[in-house]
Amino acid sequence: MNDEQTREQQLVTAARDGDESAFETLVRLYEKRVFALTLRMCGDREDAAEAAQEAFLAAWQGLAFFRGDSSFSTWLYRLASNACVDLLRREGRRRAAAGTSLDDCELNLDVADTAPSPQDEAERRELREAIERGLSALTPEHRQVLVLREMHQLSYDEIARTLDLDAGTVKSRISRARKQLRNFLLKDGNFSPPPTSKEPEKEGCK
């Protein structure tokens, strides 16, 4: 266990014993990361702030039941992600995450190494906007796993632990979400299917 993990564990233990200052320190440590997650999920700053606040409140109220099977940050991500899903369901919103751009390998995007021309930049902006519209059509559960995977770069196992799901469910949801998003982009005219080729696919692009 490194120094950061030891410090976190000490703060969690103190907060569980009722030390509010220790919990405030945990909030300061994680508030930016939690807000980044909720903003990607909700696509609206006010909604994101509300979901983040709900997550920290749930953490404070639930500390007595936190067993430590996972790290505090993983548990907090779960609370934040679930708060976003609840908010989206409650308000019936399907807003896109602002500024979203998914993994180029998964979307078959060819990003040039050189600085983009004005035309390239316009095309990329149009694609980002199309992706946002596509994400808005996904269910909260599908958007949830896609944001954690593509935006926060969590592994399948990390997502499974964060959301308390089995890895198979996570992989299935991500696969379906990517397929739905690809189909949306194809219909929207902002995405071209990969050319037919007998060459083996690049590793990781399936």
Say what the pLDDT of residue 136 is: 72
Using CA atoms, how far residue 59 sits from 1, 76, 202, in Å, is 23, 7, 41
Average pLDDT value for residue range 127-142: 76
Give the C-alpha separation, 76 to 83, whole Å: 10
Confidence of residue 143 (pLDDT cuts 50, 70, 90): confident
pLDDT tens-digit series, residues 9-19: 889 999 988 89
Give the C-alpha separation, 8 to 25, whole Å: 10
Burial level of 146, CB count in 10 A (0-12/13-18/19+)? buried
The structure's pTM equals 0.59
Give the C-alpha separation, 94 to 139, whole Å: 8
Give the C-alpha separation, 153 to 159, whole Å: 10
Average pLDDT value for residue range 88-117: 49
Q: Which segment of 104-113, 136-145, 146-155, 186-195 scores lowest on mean pLDDT?
A: 104-113
Give the C-alpha separation, 48 to 40, whole Å: 8
Confidence of residue 94 (pLDDT cuts 50, 70, 90): very low
Amino acid at the residue 118 = P
Domains and CATH numbers, the chain: 1-93 (1.10.1740.10), 96-193 (1.10.10.10)
* Residue in the structure block whose two tokens are 């990003």: 111
Residue 189 tokens read as 């005219």
Q: What is the mean pLDDT of the chain?
A: 76
